[in-house]
Amino acid sequence: MELTRIQHTSISFISSFALRCAVDLDISGRIREHGRPMPLNELARSIPIPPEKDSMLLRLMALLVHQGYFVQSEAGYQITPLSEHISTEGSDVGAYVRLVTEVQLLKDWDRLSDVFKDTSKCTLIDKLYEGKQFFEVVKEIPKFGNLYNEAMASTSKSLMRGLLARYPHIFEGIKSLVDVGGGTGAAVRIIAEAFPTLKCTVFDLPHVVENATKTDFIDVVGGDMFQKIPPADAYFLKNVLHDWADEDCIRILKQCKEAIESSKHGGKVIVIDIILDSENDDPKAVETSLLLDISMMCLHGSQERNKQEWHDIILGAGYSGYKIYPVQLGVYSVIELCP
């Protein structure tokens, strides 16, 4: 049993690349387009795969079926709610799968022990790109930057749908909202569709918002969240603060608080991020959170945080109080901050 567990952990990276393969071949999209259970040979020809490699596809599908991405019957393969999220058309997380399996991000993970031994505050990105920070790399390598933006936009879809389904009241009564670090505006577009009278603004670095779409209800503003944030009733930060050290998070939240105060409308800050919780009833969610914490440590030199750490940051930024919504959005929670 001990050996099996060690073997499983050691080779689990294969699952990542098997999933990447399914995304690249758009297996989910092909089966969905087929409209009925799809036999192996028809799936193979649709990709297309040479007949002599059908047995390889069979073995790949065996793993993906075991992991719940597809189901198999005598009639063929069918998609599941899980594989719905990795089809090319309307994909929620296909781009995210490509990002986290990107060789440029993975090739130095075998040097993780060196990071621990190094007396400086280096990260794996520092070692790989000679002292540059993650977001500097994203900016300087367009291909990588585009993939990152696509990945962040793709995960926004299911996350935002879950947020609006569970907590629509969070956005009720708000007249204006700024999505701080909003990327290309994927999250804001979903909010604007649900609340068409809400004036939304996508706010991010100028080179990032170049690809954001401006509409009658969505404005696009380029700037630096550490310097000044546009005034609004409310501020939205999704998967932003976990990229930054505690002191940077306090600076960002202070900027939001000052902008709310200058608007003279009261207001709030809405944070979607991970809260580490070892008592979570879902062991897969706990492990995923811990893996993401290691990822933040290696890529950004930052971290995921537990409730006490969030408490210290929020009060350290001068907020009068906050509320954590108990129902999690997968591994994510919603924190509503009061100025």
Tell me, yes or no, whether 178 and 78 share the same domain. Answer: no
Instruction: Point out the domain boundary residue: 63, 88, 113.
Output: 88
Tell me, yes or no, whether 60 and 177 share the same domain. Answer: no
Q: Is the pLDDT of residue 281 over 90?
A: no
Residue 166 lies in a domain: yes
Task: State the angle between helix axes of 186-194 and 142-166 in degrees (0 to 180), rounded to the nearest 10.
Answer: 30
* CATH assignment at residue 285: 3.40.50.150
Question: What DSSP letter does each residue of 32-100 carry, written as one string?
Answer: HHH-S-B-HHHHHHHTT--GGGHHHHHHHHHHHHHTTSEEEETTEEEE-TTGGGG-STT-SSHHHHHHH
Using an 8 Å Cβ cutoff, are 181 and 204 in contact? yes
The predicted structure's pLDDT at residue 89: 64
| Average pLDDT, rounded, for the chain | 89
- Cα–Cα distance measured from residue 295 to residue 159, given in angstroms and rounded to the nearest whole number: 20
State the burial class of residue 74 (Cβ atoms within 10 Å of its Cβ: 0-12, 13-18, 19+). exposed
Tell me, yes or no, whether 163 and 286 share the same domain. Answer: yes
Q: Please list, in sequence order, all residues whose beta carbon lies within 8 angstroms of the beta carbon of residue 62, skipping any fewer than 6 positions away.
A: none
- CA nearest to 68, candidates 80, 58, 76: 80
Tell me, yes or no, whether 171 and 43 share the same domain. Answer: no
Using an 8 Å Cβ cutoff, are 179 and 234 in contact? no
pTM comes to: 0.88
Task: Measure Cα distances from 79 to 117, 183, 303 in Å.
Answer: 46, 31, 35
Instruction: Point out the domain boundary residue: 88, 114, 148.
Output: 88
* CATH assignment at residue 25: 1.10.10.10
CB atoms within 10 A of CB 264: 8
Instruction: Point out the domain boundary residue: 88, 123, 139.
Output: 88
Task: State the angle between helix axes of 13-24 and 54-66 in degrees (0 to 180), rounded to the nearest 10.
Answer: 120
Residue 131 lies in a domain: no
Tell me, yes or no, whether 176 and 34 share the same domain. Answer: no
Residue 26 lies in a domain: yes
* pLDDT tens digits along 104-160: 778 778 888 887 887 777 777 776 677 777 888 778 888 888 888 888 888 888 788
Residue 111 lies in a domain: no
* pLDDT tens digits along 52-94: 999 999 999 999 999 999 999 999 999 998 898 887 665 568 8
* Domain enclosing residue 318, as ranges: 157-338
Active site residues: 242
* pLDDT tens digits along 293-317: 999 988 888 999 999 999 999 999 9
Tell me, yes or no, whether 243 and 321 share the same domain. Answer: yes
Tell me, yes or no, whether 83 and 162 share the same domain. Answer: no
Residue 287 lies in a domain: yes
- Cα–Cα distance measured from residue 104 to residue 303, given in angstroms and rounded to the nearest whole number: 21
Residue 313 lies in a domain: yes
What is the number of structural domains in the chain?
A: 2
Share of the chain above pLDDT 90, in %: 62
